[in-house]
A and B are shown apart, each in its own frame.
Chain A
Amino acid sequence: MVSVVLGGLAKEFTDGTHIGPIDLTLEDGELLALLGPSGSGKTTTLRMVAGFITPDHGTLTFDGENILDVPPRERGIGMVLQSVALFPHMSVYQNIAFGLEVAGWSREKTIIRVEALSDLLGIRNLLFRRTREISGGEAQRVALARALAKEPQLLLLDEPLSSLDPQLRETLQFEIRKIQRELGVTTLYVTHSQSEAFAISDRVAVLDNGVVSQVGAPEELYNQPKNEFVARFVGGGNVFAGEVVRNTGSEILVHVNDWRFQVSGTSQSGSHVVFSVKPEDIRIGLGERPDAPAVEVVSIIPLGGVHKVILQFGNHKVTSITQDEDLIRMLKENECSGVWFTFESSSASLLKTD
């Protein structure tokens, strides 16, 4: 298919919002998720790639060729939007065939192509329905078929599943992933949902305030977040900030809320550091321990199989995930006090600070 390179793409809007500069590379055939909170510039980035927004600065190349001067309809792009945007006055068949018909395909070729696509997406029985007679999930399948009809070299998906209920969303995530692999089409997938990004993509680019914060495979982002934003947005949010009181060369002792934590890594004594610990690496227990801080339980949230326990540690909220049913029962009986938490020094990762 195609590899796409965004080189310092930037756009300033008249209201002062600023997006970019964004540097990002999509490898040939990969599915890259653009993940970020609302307002982080995901959709703007996608629309710059599509050609609906002209960037003020930067380059955009498809297989090394500059594409910025090519109008959207000649870029060979398929797109699916959250609003689906099916043509309301056409049948499902006419929607899928639209791109082929305006490109002047013959009737026979069009029918063969539409039928093949509808088989691929399991919507053959819907072909002659009106668009308002189909369900939300079916509409997304039709929109995907329509986007794929002309065999685009690049597929852009802008929160395609956000308006669907969770179960349907999971099914469709799986199907999109399968079809994308089968066709090998390079895909940019915009989402604000961490779980969706992780479930579907080869790599994830986390966007914060208009710039790419970190790019990597899901595990990489989760295990080695580079900064506080990624740690909070992707890792589930245990971020501690404190002062280094001792540096042993391989470990440091960090003073946080009247407690000293051992953290792997190195930093100057007296410097300020930020580190994160994943919820599943936080161990908790009842009673008192001299080597662990005492905290209070704020809430216990069952997540099916595991429990999420939120603790109050000074002015920090600390989240722990545990599978220990007995512990949870005891925590509930114990009226939420007299609890400690701890973590291995190696499970904490030092974050870059600005």
Chain B
Amino acid sequence: MRNGSIVTHVVMALPLLLLVGFLVYPVLGVLILGLVVGPGSSFQDVMSSQVTHATLWFTFLQAAASTILAVVLGLPGAFLLARLEFKGKQAVRAAVILPFILPPIVVVVGFLRMFGSYGFVDSVAMALTGATESVVNFAAGVPGIVLAHAFYNIPLVILLVSASLERLDPDIEDTAELLGASGIQKLRRIVLPHVMPSLLGATILTFLFCFMSFPIVLALGQGRYMTLEVLIYYAFSSFDFGMTSSIAVIQILILMTLAIAYAAAMRSDKKDAGQTSFIKTVPIAELSWPRLLTGILYALLIGVIVVGPMIAVIDSAVFDPVTGQYTLKGFLHLLEVEGGLLPLTNSLFYATLATLFSVVVGIPLAYSLRSRSGLLSNSTSVMILLPLGVSSITIAYGLLRFIAVPTGWAANPWPLIIIAQTLIGVPFTARAIESSLRSIDPSLLDQADSLGASRLQKLFFVELPLLAPGILVGAAFAFAMAIGEMSATLFLRREQNVTLAVTIYENLGVRRFVEAGAASLLLLVVCFIAFLVIQRASESAFKGAI
């Protein structure tokens, strides 16, 4: 970069050009199509339609309810994780990212078994009340949607807020205490203002994720409850392209606003953060009984909401709720060509290629992020932030309209599925590689320079080996995201492009629960392996911190 040769500029610019071609251009196309007249409903029609209003209203309400639940349940966890000293704290801290990489459709399967009719919770309730019919069903409609969103976002709140809490200087707390602040006053005047930016960031991000949530609402909403994202899908399925584009426009505008607000909140969090310090911690043995009890009850509640569904996936792979018996039918189905082998092959093929591309594109992007050229690093930041503000369905729709149709790929759009999955993975690889790049001591490169290494020798023999753990972390994230991706794939695929995630959804639709369960368990295992890779690699890449 220092000598700024043409080759390096091309290498740096290529990923940006690819992103412009496969992300910006299709999405802009969708926007323009939505505002200018297309086939089907016009923008004015859509804006004044009852369905749009109701869906918009529901999208906001369910996102708000999910966010409130996630924050209310996540905040105590963040404080406990930061303040409490207990055995296995490292493992808990690591496990917090696990829900984040699980495919939403797998979570849906776990939820049905955990909270659905005749599920674990229901069985307990039935035993308690002595009823013979199902008593509670938390896995359907609004409660199901909100709980499943809480499953994803409680860990997010815990992760972001506890990280910020851990940067609270113990000297500041001591000083406040000596100045006479009581526990409550300290919390209100010192601790809460300190975590406010990260709490705000976590809240916006949670709201954003819930706002554009697709598989959970599609599967648990059962057609009665729709978010904008689901409405886009239904509009497209009924060939009303005008409506598809118009809703996409409305959604993009809202999501972009949220994404920008999130970026702003994160910036002010960084500005206020001092150097890393260690917050005052309390060993668990020193807790008073009532507090310990509250903590245990909280851990149980989180266990039921977050750990429960993951365990329930295992049960759902062998238990058939239709016959009420344990069976291996689901696994046998996986061995059939149509039921398992084809989707599995497709899933692995798409996810592997998408991961590869995410890494290849992610490395130069990471370098661009670190670039001293403000234009380059800023435009890269925007590109990486973009997938936050554009939903998978919108990306898929854009790709289909503006890439598949002109190229004639629409009949067998497998390259588009890979492109969509790559776009979803790139922010993860670029971020992970950038963090690992940041931790490379620059004097090491100067050392290599002084020993006479050329730019390329330096890259291959010094930088890339040092970056390897970071690349591995990014790749594992990208792979987990790609193999569990359902939204864009469901939107794009033809008969022969079906993936595991899509078959799970389809099997659920025709009440073949144990078949869905077996495939879910397979995905769960794959994602768990990715999680282990992330943990091991990030220990060496960023000394355990993500």
Tell me which residues across on chain B come within 8 A of A83, comparing CB atoms: 169, 171
User: How near does chain A come to B190, taking the closest CB pair, in angstroms?
Assistant: 6
Tell me which residues across on chain B come within 8 A of A77, comparing CB atoms: 178
Cross-chain contact of B182 among A87, A89, A98, A102 (Cβ < 8 A): A102
Tell me which residues across on chain A come within 8 A of B172, comparing CB atoms: 85, 87-88
Is A81 within 8 A of B182, CB to CB? no
Is B274 within 8 A of A88, CB to CB? yes
Closest to B185 in A: A102
A146 at interface, CB cutoff 8 A: yes
Is B169 within 8 A of A146, CB to CB? no
B288 at interface, CB cutoff 8 A: no
Is B189 within 8 A of A88, CB to CB? no
B149 at interface, CB cutoff 8 A: no
Tell me which residues across on chain A come within 8 A of B49, comparing CB atoms: none
Cross-chain contact of A72 among B171, B177, B193 (Cβ < 8 A): B177
A21 at interface, CB cutoff 8 A: no
Cross-chain contact of B171 among A74, A78, A85, A102 (Cβ < 8 A): A85
User: B186-221: which have CB < 8 Å to A?
Assistant: 189-190, 193-194
B446 at interface, CB cutoff 8 A: no
Tally of contact residues, B, Cβ under 8 A: 19
Is B190 within 8 A of A99, CB to CB? no
Bound Cα distance A83, B172 (Å)? 9
Interface extent on A, as a size class? 20 to 34
Tell me which residues across on chain A come within 8 A of B169, comparing CB atoms: 83, 85
B179 at interface, CB cutoff 8 A: yes
Given A81-B171, A89-B272, A73-B194 contact (CB < 8 Å)? no
Given A85-B169, A85-B174, A99-B272 contact (CB < 8 Å)? no
A5 at interface, CB cutoff 8 A: no
B24 at interface, CB cutoff 8 A: no
Closest to B181 in A: A102
Tell me which residues across on chain A come within 8 A of B189, comparing CB atoms: 98, 102
Tell me which residues across on chain B come within 8 A of A87, comparing CB atoms: 172, 175-176, 190
Given A83-B169, A88-B274, A103-B174 contact (CB < 8 Å)? no
Closest to B175 in A: A85
Of B169, B175, B176, B182, the most chain A CB neighbours within 10 A belong to B175
Is A98 within 8 A of B179, CB to CB? yes
Given A83-B169, A83-B171, A102-B189, A89-B194 contact (CB < 8 Å)? yes
Closest to A143 in B: B175
User: How near does chain A come to B54, taking the closest CB pair, in angstroms?
Assistant: 42
Of B179, B182, B194, the most chain A CB neighbours within 10 A belong to B179
User: How near does chain A come to B171, taking the closest CB pair, in angstroms?
Assistant: 4
Closest to A156 in B: B178
Bound Cα distance A146, B185 (Å)? 17
Tell me which residues across on chain B come within 8 A of A75, comparing CB atoms: 178
Cross-chain contact of B193 among A73, A78, A89, A99 (Cβ < 8 A): A89
Bound Cα distance A50, B171 (Å)? 13
A60 at interface, CB cutoff 8 A: no
Tell me which residues across on chain B come within 8 A of A98, comparing CB atoms: 176, 179, 181, 189
Of A89, A103, A149, the most chain B CB neighbours within 10 A belong to A89
Given A85-B175, A88-B274, A99-B194 contact (CB < 8 Å)? no
Is A146 within 8 A of B194, CB to CB? no
Bound Cα distance A75, B175 (Å)? 13
Bound Cα distance A89, B177 (Å)? 17
Bound Cα distance A72, B274 (Å)? 26
Bound Cα distance A147, B178 (Å)? 9
Is A99 within 8 A of B180, CB to CB? yes
Is B180 within 8 A of A79, CB to CB? no
User: How near does chain A come to B205, taking the closest CB pair, in angstroms?
Assistant: 22
Tell me which residues across on chain A come within 8 A of B178, comparing CB atoms: 50, 72-73, 75, 77-79, 147
Is A88 within 8 A of B177, CB to CB? no
A128 at interface, CB cutoff 8 A: no
A150 at interface, CB cutoff 8 A: yes
Of B171, B180, B181, B189, the most chain A CB neighbours within 10 A belong to B180
**Contact digits for A96-114, partner B, Cβ 8 Å, 1 yes 0 no:** 0011001100000000000
**Contact digits for A61-83, partner B, Cβ 8 Å, 1 yes 0 no:** 00000000000111101110101
Cross-chain contact of B180 among A73, A85, A88, A89 (Cβ < 8 A): A73
User: How near does chain A come to B429, taking the closest CB pair, in angstroms?
Assistant: 34
Tell me which residues across on chain B come within 8 A of A174, comparing CB atoms: none
Is A150 within 8 A of B179, CB to CB? yes
A52 at interface, CB cutoff 8 A: yes
Is A81 within 8 A of B274, CB to CB? no
Closest to A103 in B: B180
Bound Cα distance A99, B177 (Å)? 9
Tell me which residues across on chain B come within 8 A of A88, comparing CB atoms: 172, 194, 272, 274
User: B374-432: which have CB < 8 Å to A?
Assistant: none
Tell me which residues across on chain B come within 8 A of A103, comparing CB atoms: 180
Tell me which residues across on chain B come within 8 A of A52, comparing CB atoms: 174
Bound Cα distance A83, B180 (Å)? 20
Tell me which residues across on chain B come within 8 A of A78, comparing CB atoms: 178
Closest to B196 in A: A89
User: How near does chain B come to A31, taking the closest CB pair, in angstroms?
Assistant: 19
Of B171, B174, B178, the most chain A CB neighbours within 10 A belong to B178
Is B181 within 8 A of A79, CB to CB? no
Tell me which residues across on chain A come within 8 A of B274, comparing CB atoms: 88
**Contact digits for A286-310, partner B, Cβ 8 Å, 1 yes 0 no:** 0000000000000000000000000
Bound Cα distance A61, B193 (Å)? 36
Closest to A152 in B: B178
**Contact digits for A333-350, partner B, Cβ 8 Å, 1 yes 0 no:** 000000000000000000
Tell me which residues across on chain A come within 8 A of B190, comparing CB atoms: 87
Bound Cα distance A75, B179 (Å)? 10
User: How near does chain B come to A70, taking the closest CB pair, in angstroms?
Assistant: 12
User: A105-126: which have CB < 8 Å to B?
Assistant: none
User: How near does chain A come to B255, taking the closest CB pair, in angstroms?
Assistant: 30
Pull 26 A–B residue pairs with CB atoms less than 8 Å apart, ordered by A: A50-B174, A72-B177, A73-B178, A73-B181, A79-B174, A81-B171, A81-B174, A83-B169, A85-B172, A87-B172, A87-B176, A88-B194, A88-B272, A88-B274, A89-B194, A98-B176, A98-B181, A98-B189, A99-B179, A102-B179, A102-B180, A102-B185, A102-B189, A146-B175, A147-B179, A150-B179
Task: Give me the interface of A with B, judged by CB distance under 8 Å.
Answer: 50, 52, 72-75, 77-79, 81, 83, 85, 87-89, 98-99, 102-103, 146-147, 149-150
Add 4 more A-B contacts to A89-B193, A150-B179, A150-B180 (CB < 8 A).
Answer: A73-B178, A75-B178, A81-B175, A149-B179
